[in-house]
Amino acid sequence: MITLGVDPHPGSHTVVALDTNGCLLAEATVPNTPAGLLELHRFGEPFNLRRWAIEGAGNHFIASFVSELLHRGEAVYSISPSVTSQYRSRRGRKKNDVVDAANVARALLANPELPALLKSVGQQRELQELSRARERLSDQLKSNRLALAELTEHSRVREILKQVIQTIASQLKELERRLHGLVTALKPHLLDLDGVGAVIAGTLLAEVGDVQRFPNEDHFASYCGAAPVERGSGQNSRMQVNPGGNRRLNRALHLVALVRLRVDERSKQFVCKRIEAGKTKRAALRLLKTYIAREIFKTMSQPATLEPESRP
């Protein structure tokens, strides 16, 4: 089996081919154009038994290539940038696109249990665009509000910033309205969970895609970076936080956990018992995120009660 590692960028894509031992067989860099993507397809054709490992396969500048691979029935794996960075730090300080593409492929070689991407539902791409656009606008809104607070009362810039803030705030509401409509059509059960609103649910659906690609809830929690990993040597052994996984999903779980600590009595009791047992508050919060990830997996595995066309 040949593993093709891809390091995508808005302007170009770099691909390498590694054998089962991790030896470099070939490499290429192509522009991010229709002709370049065609060349990327041709790069993989000589390798009959192949699979694709793509860093951040959900990024918009590589989405069309990923969709075409899935349409052709190719095996495609999305590798989180946080996982790639771990392999880079282990193998030295050198960094370029070829090194990054090779580390993407090695991440898959070292983690064969990673779930392959399935043919995504038609709305997943729209969910990704909506959720990520909202995230960027939310950061801009916060930045503009901070800039407004720093201005003097009689500054001529205040009125301009106020108009910018008002425009961004109204567009954020529009994005959230669209997210709510898509979530209601696809997985309305998510909105019944404590701490999960339209924004969090949209992020979950956008980053996960088809939840059936995960064999069980433990694999899903690990993909979210919410499953602790063991660190041991000799007689010393301990569990520590998992630095890998999809960081957008991990952040979504963290926000859900913070909300539940305010409104959900079960979560409050769970964290209190862990603290009384000797855990720190951060460690107890990480355990809570693991249980939340398992609950979300079960909820996402449920079919929608109504077809999208018949749901208001």
Can you spell out the DSSP letters for 254-268?
Answer: HHHHHHHHHH-HHHH
User: Is the whole model's pTM more than 0.85, yes or no?
Assistant: no
52: β partners? 4, 76
H or E element at residue 29: strand 24-31
Distance CA 86, CA 167 (A): 40
> What are the structure tokens assigned to 27, written together?
């490499």
DSSP secondary structure string for all residues of 128-142: HHHHHHHHHHHHHHH
DSSP secondary structure string for all residues of 72-126: TT--EEEE-HHHHHHHHHHS-S---HHHHHHHHHHHHHH-TTSPPP----TTHHH
**pLDDT at position 215:** 85
Q: Which residue's structure tokens are 């607070």?
A: 149
Which parts of 195-280 fold into alpha helices (H)?
A: 198-208, 217-223, 247-263, 265-276
Distance CA 193, CA 181 (A): 17
Divide the 312 residues of the chain into consecutive groups of 10 and give the mean pLDDT of each group.
92 92 90 91 91 84 84 85 68 75 88 73 75 92 94 90 95 93 88 92 88 86 80 66 79 93 91 90 89 92 53 35
Count the neighbouring beta carbons within 10 Å of the beta carbon of residue 269. Answer: 10
Q: Would you say 103 and 92 are in contact if contact means Cβ atoms under 8 Å apart? A: no
**pLDDT at position 297:** 93
Q: Which residue's structure tokens are 């963290």?
A: 254
Distance CA 246, CA 248 (A): 6
**pLDDT at position 305:** 44
What's the first-to-final CA gap in the chain, in angstroms? 47
